[in-house]
């Protein structure tokens, strides 16, 4: 097994995304990769989210900040220089989220923190979240990436991100804000460098060997620029903001859903779901199940389907 390690020195989100995607092609059956990176003034949203409702776009633009859309699912997070991001990249046959979490937990333990998993994809200390995680499965390789809040500006986090209404109803504003913690609040001596060192050492310890450090020279700059262009394209970043005839917000075990329906008569003819669901492909499948549903009658009724979502049952199919 060959271990590769790269830490980006850029704070530009679209370049850092491009490097992450580039590394997918470097992860073969005999290669594991750890990638560390930091963005600044960035709202980082999931693939199926609505940028207009998740982010305070005018404030971000006024601050000279960025909105970045990733290819993984999950919810919106805030990145600044006080946050360190990690990505584990593996060939599809070697991909194991549990293994990656063990490496991360060991890194935290070495820094004196007792961390544990919580909910769908959070890592917490004493019940307070310091890391959110998301996952991507490609045809040949996969990645598991996440945040580590170290000295992140929580006031700016609130300025940049909107908390979905259904989350506010479930948790309350105060609990949403207070459940996030910086590692530096728990230990003032912790820095991005010390966390980066701990992650690299835990990665090497797990596999029992030293990692080879990549440099910028290991990347094809022309190809990297092409990927940057894709991620920095405004069409990709902002996506759409479809306003149909009906809308419902639903909170389920698998995430939140902002469901928008175009209706003719009593029949749904188009459906759009904005969601922080971790399974990227599942959202399109759920949209398809809504098309053709009768608004009010029978087992295909929209109210029946939304009720099934809330009760965390299987979606009703045709």
Q: Whole-model pTM?
A: 0.89
Q: Is 83 buried (19+), middle (13-18) or exposed (0-12) by CB count in 10 A?
A: buried
Query: CA-CA distance, 318 to 316, in Å (whole number)?
Result: 7
Question: According to the model, what pLDDT value does residue 296 have?
Answer: 67
82-127 pLDDT per residue, tens: 999 999 999 999 999 999 999 999 999 999 999 999 987 899 999 9
Question: According to the model, what pLDDT value does residue 297 have?
Answer: 61
Question: According to the model, what pLDDT value does residue 89 have?
Answer: 98
Q: Is 134 helix (H, G, I), strand (E, B) or coil?
A: strand
> DSSP string covering 77-143, please?
EEE-TTEEEEEEEEEGGG--HHHHHHHHHHHHHHTT---EEETTTEEEETTEEEEEEEEEE-SSEEE
* Residue matched to tokens 């990176």: 37
Q: Is 253 helix (H, G, I), strand (E, B) or coil?
A: coil
Question: Higher model confidence: residue 90 or residue 176?
Answer: 90
| pLDDT beyond 60 at 21 | yes
Task: Give the mean model confidence (pLDDT) for residues 4-12.
Answer: 98
| pLDDT beyond 70 at 66 | yes
234-253 pLDDT per residue, tens: 999 999 988 778 787 877 77
Question: According to the model, what pLDDT value does residue 300 have?
Answer: 47
> Positive or negative, the Cα torsion across 214, 131, 77, 93?
positive
pLDDT band with cut points at 50, 70 and 90 for residue 315: very low
| pLDDT beyond 90 at 303 | no
Residue 230 CB: number of other CB atoms within 10 A? Answer: 13
CA distances from 252 to 123, 186, 282, 314 (A): 20, 32, 14, 11
299-301-306 Cα angle (round to 5)? 100
Q: How many residues comprise the chain?
A: 318
Question: According to the model, what pLDDT value does residue 125 have?
Answer: 96
Pairing of strands 83-91, 77-79: unpaired
pLDDT band with cut points at 50, 70 and 90 for residue 169: low
31-63 pLDDT per residue, tens: 999 999 999 999 999 999 999 999 999 999 999
Closest among 256, 280, 242, 250 to 48, alpha carbons compared? 280
CA distances from 68 to 22, 79, 101, 132, 277 (A): 17, 10, 24, 16, 17
| pLDDT beyond 70 at 187 | yes
Question: According to the model, what pLDDT value does residue 290 have?
Answer: 82
CA distances from 259 to 42, 95, 244, 256 (A): 26, 32, 9, 9
Pairing of strands 122-125, 116-118: antiparallel
Question: According to the model, what pLDDT value does residue 156 have?
Answer: 93
Instruction: Supply 202's token pair.
Output: 């835990």
Question: According to the model, what pLDDT value does residue 299 have?
Answer: 47
| pLDDT beyond 50 at 317 | no
């Amino acid at each position: 097994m060959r271990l590769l390690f790269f830490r980006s020195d850029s704070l530009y989100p679209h370049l850092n995304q491009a490097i992450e995607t580039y590394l997918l092609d470097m992860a073969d059956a005999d290669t594991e990769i750890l990638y560390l990176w930091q963005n600044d003034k960035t709202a980082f949203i999931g693939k199926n989210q609505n940028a207009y409702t998740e982010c305070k776009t005018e404030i971000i633009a006024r601050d000279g900040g960025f909105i970045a859309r990733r290819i993984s699912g999950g919810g919106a997070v805030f990145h600044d220089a006080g946050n360190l991001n990690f990505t584990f990249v593996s060939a599809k046959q070697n991909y194991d989220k549990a293994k990656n979490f063990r490496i991360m937990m060991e890194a935290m333990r070495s820094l004196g923190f007792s961390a544990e998993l919580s909910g769908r994809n959070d890592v917490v200390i004493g019940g307070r979240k310091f890391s959110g995680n998301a996952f991507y499965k490609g045809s040949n390789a996969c990645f598991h990436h996440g945040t580590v809040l170290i000295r992140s500006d929580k006031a700016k986090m609130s300025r940049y991100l909107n908390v979905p209404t259904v989350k506010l109803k479930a948790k309350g504003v105060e609990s949403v804000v207070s459940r996030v913690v910086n590692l530096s609040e728990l230990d003032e001596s912790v820095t991005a460098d010390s966390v980066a060192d701990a992650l690299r050492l835990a990665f090497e310890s797990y596999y029992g060997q030293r990692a080879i450090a990549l440099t910028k020279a290991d990347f094809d700059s022309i190809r990297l620029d092409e990927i940057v262009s894709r991620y920095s394209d405004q069409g990709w970043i902002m996506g759409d903001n479809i306003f149909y005839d009906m809308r419902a917000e639903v909170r389920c075990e698998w995430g939140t859903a902002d469901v928008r329906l175009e209706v003719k008569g009593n029949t749904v003819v188009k459906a759009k779901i904005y969601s922080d669901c971790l399974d990227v492909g599942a959202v399109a499948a759920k949209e398809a199940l809504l098309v053709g549903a009768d608004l009010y009658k029978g087992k295909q009724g929209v109210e029946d389907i939304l009720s099934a979502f809330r009760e965390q049952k299987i979606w009703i199919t045709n």
